[in-house]
Amino acid sequence: MESSSTSLASLTAEQRADIVLDVIRTRRVVRRYTDEPVADDQIHRVLEAGRWATTGGNRRIHRFLVIRDPKTIRLMKMISPGMLGAPSAIVLICLDHTAIDAEQTREEHSSGLVDVGTQAMNMMVAAHALGLGSCPVTSFSQSGMSTLLDLPRTATPLLMVLLGHPAPHTRVMRRGARTRLTVEDLTYWEHYGHTS
Amino acid sequence: MSAETAVTEDEAFELLAHLVASAELCIREPYYYGTFRLIDAASKLMGFMLSNGADTEHEWLAAFKEEVDTKKEWMMWDREGYFAFLQGATGSVAGELKRRAAASI
């Protein structure tokens, strides 16, 4: 990693921004994967990206559970209607109540849910940079997942990041379907409603 | 494919898990997600039926499953097209039901 860090540091801010923004812009949710396993070192790099995500007050109240066993993944899929593909690995982000107690914080603090999003997004961007496909999934049964994975009562499963090698797929669009939103569609300047 | 082999016990349990989990999710998710869960369940059922029978006997089923799998995803980026598809989908099934009923007379 030393060499890539060194080469990145030698770039101008503009060049670094181009690289980062290109990775962000070209990432898509991937729901079709090949059977090829995801290498452990790739999973580690994805996890590292999640670890470096911002968290409210630098609280670390989440834990990542990595699942690679195909049989377990198949069972997880059965109780996860939001999981459309068959990934090779899953990172399950859990709220850890032991950590919540240690942090002397409150579970219902909404930034805890925001943190799940920032961690998942970092992981998905890293996965894309590594040539992997990823998909966030919250549409699963929490009680079913806790039972399947023998989670302790102190862990609440919140979000899965699916990982795998993307399978070739062409998205079929309806003629006349709505086009993508632009930055201008989403942004107001200085006052809500002002577009310039 | 005979009526006895349309779905194996393992496949039935898979469908059961999907339907029960979907029912739970309908409590907290947008209403139109429920339509997606049902049409996705229909796709799973068709997949099981096709895997247990000769594809050549089920051209309509294979074609309808392909259409469902393509258009169900429109729910995420083309809701108007997705709803229009759903409104016509039952007509497709009804046509096949009618054909099967006529064939069994």
Which residues does chain B have within 8 Å of residue A173's beta carbon, measured at their own beta carbons? 78
- Other beta carbons within 10 Å of A148: 19
Instruction: Tell me if A139 and B33 make a contact (CB, 8 A cut-off).
Output: yes
Q: Which of B21, B77, B81 sits opposite A79 (nearest CB)?
A: B21
Closest-CA distance, A34 to chain B, in angstroms, reads: 18
Q: Which residues pair with A94 in a beta bridge?
A: A63, A157
End-to-end CA distance of chain B: 19
Tally of helices (H runs) and strands (E runs) in chain B: 4, 0
CA-wise closest residue to B78 among A82, A27, A31, A176: A176
pLDDT of residue A191: 94
- Rounded Cα distance between B83 and B64, Å, is 16
Instruction: Tell me if B25 and A82 make a contact (CB, 8 A cut-off).
Output: yes
Instruction: Tell me if B78 and A174 make a contact (CB, 8 A cut-off).
Output: yes
Residue A41 has pLDDT above 70, yes or no: yes
What's the pLDDT tens digit per position in B36-83? 999 999 999 999 999 988 555 688 999 999 999 999 999 988 999 999
Residue A2 has pLDDT above 60, yes or no: no
pLDDT of residue A4: 56
Mean pLDDT along residues A43-62 = 94
In degrees rounded to 5, what are phi and psi of residue A136? -85, 140
CB of B7 within 8 A of CB of B51? no
Which residues does chain B have within 8 Å of residue A140's beta carbon, measured at their own beta carbons? 21, 25
What is the number of alpha carbons within 13 Å of residue B57 lying toward its C-beta?
A: 10
Kind of pairing, strands A89-96 and A133-137? unpaired
Mean pLDDT along residues A122-151 = 97
Topology given in CATH for the domain delimited by A13-168: NADH Oxidase (3.40.109)
DSSP A65-76: EEE--HHHHHHH
Domains of chain A by residue range? 13-168
- Rounded Cα distance between A90 and A66, Å, is 6
Mean pLDDT along residues A121-135 = 98
Question: For residue A74, what is the nearest residue in chain B, using CA coordinates?
Answer: B14
Instruction: Tell me if A144 and B21 make a contact (CB, 8 A cut-off).
Output: yes
Instruction: Tell me if B21 and A177 make a contact (CB, 8 A cut-off).
Output: no
- Rounded Cα distance between B51 and B38, Å, is 20
What's the pLDDT tens digit per position in A167-182? 988 777 787 777 788 9
CA-wise closest residue to A156 among A174, A141, A134, A178: A141
Task: Check if A175 contacts B (Cβ < 8 Å).
Answer: no
End-to-end CA distance of chain A: 43
Task: Check if A172 contacts B (Cβ < 8 Å).
Answer: yes
Interface with A, mutate which of B15, B20, B31, B32 (most A CBs under 10 A) = B20
Which residues does chain B have within 8 Å of residue A84's beta carbon, measured at their own beta carbons? 40
What's the pLDDT tens digit per position in A96-106? 999 988 877 76
pLDDT of residue B2: 55
What is the number of alpha carbons within 13 Å of residue A81 lying toward its C-beta?
A: 26
pLDDT of residue B104: 81
Question: For residue B66, what is the nearest residue in chain A, using CA coordinates?
Answer: A172
Question: For residue B16, what is the nearest residue in chain A, using CA coordinates?
Answer: A78
Task: Check if B73 contacts A (Cβ < 8 Å).
Answer: yes
What's the pLDDT tens digit per position in B1-33? 555 568 999 999 999 999 999 999 999 999 999
pLDDT of residue B32: 94
3-state secondary structure (DSSP) of residue A105: coil
Q: Indicate the helix (H) or strand (E) that contains A96.
A: strand A89-96
Mean pLDDT along residues A27-31 = 94
Q: Indicate the helix (H) or strand (E) that contains A84.
A: none
Hey, what's the torsion of the CAs at B67, B70, B71, B72, to 10 degrees?
Answer: 110
Q: Which of A80, A171, A172 sits opposite B21 (nearest CB)?
A: A80
Q: What is the DSSP letter of A166?
A: B
Q: Which of B13, B40, B77 sits opposite A81 (nearest CB)?
A: B40
pLDDT of residue B56: 52
Closest-CA distance, B19 to chain A, in angstroms, reads: 8
